[in-house]
Amino acid sequence: MTRDLTKGSPMRLILSFGLPVLLGNLFQQFYNVVDTAIVGKTLGGSALAAVGSTGSINFLVVGFCVGLCGGFAIPAAQQFGAGNHWELRRYVTGGAWLCLLFGALTTLATTLFCGHILTGMQTPPEIYQRAYLYIFTIFAGLPAYFLYNFTASVLRSLGDSRTPVIWLSGAALLNIVLDVVFILTFHLDVFGAALATVLSQAVAGAGCLVRMLRGYPILHTERADWRWSRRRMGELCLMGLPMGLQFSITAIGSVMIQTAVNGLGTAYVTAVTAASKVSMFVSCPFDAMGSTMATYGGQNVGSARWERLDQGLRACVLLGAVYAALSLALLYVFANPLNMLFLDADSASLLPLARQYLLTLALFYFPLALVNILRLLIQGMGFSPLATLAGVLELAGRAVISMLVPTLGFAAACFASPAAWVLADLFLLPAYLHCRHRLTRPRRRRGKPAPAGA
C-alpha cells in the first residue's frame, strides 16, 4: 500500500493520496463534533460552553503532539523517496524513542498545570469545574494521541494514507457508542465525553501500530536499529520541534482569542463554540491538503525531483481555491442549521452570533488554504524552522486583534483568525521561493543537490 509520489501526474497523486487523508481528518474532527453535539443536546448550553472554553488549550497541546509526530516522519518520507530503507528504519525507531520521551513530559506538565491554565484564561466560574474535568481527562490521555499520530504519520510517509483512515473511522464509530454509554447510560457528564475520545484514539493508534509491524517488511527492525543516535535524534528534533511549536504558537493566539471571548460572557462562548466546531469540520480539506503536500514535498526532495515541487503546488492551490469558494456558498445557505447541531433549543437565540462568526471565517478560507499548503510543503522540503516563523506571524495577528475585543466587541473576535492567515501568507509565499532556490542553487552550480534544510 506504499505510494511513490515522485512519478506521475501531481494532480492525480494529490487527489488519490489526499482523499484518504481528508477522510481521516474528518473522522478526527468527528471525535470532537460528536462529543460537542451530544454534550450540547443532552447536557445543555452550560456543559457545551465548558467543553468549548477548553478548545483553544486543547488545540495548543494536541496540536503540539500532531505537529511533533508529523515532523518526526519527514525524514522517513525523504529516505523513502531516496530508496534508502536502512536509514528509513533508523529514523522511525528514533522517532518512536522521542515520542515516548515527549509524550511522558507533555502528559505530566499539562495535568499538573491544568487548573492554572484555565484560571489564566478567565474561564467563567459557572463552567470552571466541568471545563477542568474535561480537559484534564484529555491531557491524561495524551499518550494515545502520540501513538496514533506518530504511527499514522509514518504510514503516510510511505504513501499509505488509507490505513490511518480505516482505523480512525472505526474508532469514530466506537466514540459514538462510548459517548452514548458514558453520558446517557452511566451519566458521566463531560468526563464521559472526554474518556470516550481518549479510548477511541488509543484504538486507532493500536490499529496503525499493528499494521506497521505486520504489513511493511521495510519497517521490520533489528536490535541495532533501536540504538540511540545523537545525529539522527538531532535531525528528528530539528524537524519535529519546529512543527510542534508552530502548532502551539498558532494555538497560543487562539488561546488569546478564547480568553477575550470568555471575557464577553457565557453566551458568546457558547456561540463561538458552535460556530468553531462547524468551521473546523468544513476546513478539514485544507488540513488534508497540507498533510498531503508535506509527504509530497518530502518524497520529491528525497529523490531530487525539484520541478515537481512547483507542479504539485500549483495543483494543490487550484484545489484549495475551488473548495474555498464552494464552502463559502454552502455555509451562507446552511450556517444556521449547521450551528443548531451544537445548540439546544434554549440557545437558539445565539444563532445570529454564531452565523456572524462562521461566515467571517469562511470569507477567508482561501488564505487559510494557502497557509496549510505552503507551510506543510516547506516543512516537507526540510525547512521546518523557517515554516515556524509563519506561526509567529499568526500569533502576532491574533494577539493584536484579541486586544481589541474588549473595545470593539465581538466583531473583532470574528476577524482575529482571518487576520492571522493573511499575515502568514505574506511571509509564506516568498519563503517557499527562498526554499526552492536554496535546494536548486547547488545543483546548478556544482551538479548536486543541497541537503534539505541547509
When mean pLDDT is compared over 39-53, 76-90, 132-146, 185-199, the highest value belongs to 132-146
| Tally of CB atoms within 10 A around 258 | 28
Q: Label residues 169-205 b or e (16+ Cβ within 10 Å = b).
A: bebbebbbebbeebbeeeebbbbbbbbbbbbbbbbbb
Q: Please report the pLDDT score of residue 31 as a whole number.
A: 64
Residue 454: band (very low, low, confident or very high) from pLDDT cuts 50, 70, 90 = very low
Name which of 177, 97, 106 is nearest 140 in CA terms: 106
Q: Please report the pLDDT score of residue 72 as a whole number.
A: 93
Instruction: Report CA-CA distances (Å) from 134 to 111, 148, 220, 285.
Output: 11, 20, 39, 27
pTM to 2 decimal places: 0.76
Q: Please report the pLDDT score of residue 273 as a whole number.
A: 81
The per-residue DSSP string of 130-178 comes to HHHHHHHHHHHTHHHHHHHHHHHHHHHHTT--HHHHHHHHHHHHHHHHH
- In this structure, what DSSP letter does residue 224 have? G
pLDDT, tens digit (0-9, with 9 covering 90-100), for 167-181: 988 888 898 889 889
Candidate from 59-63, 364-368, 431-435 with smallest mean pLDDT: 59-63
Spatial contact of 353 and 339, defined as CB atoms under 8 Å apart: no
Q: What percent of the chain has pLDDT over 70?
A: 95
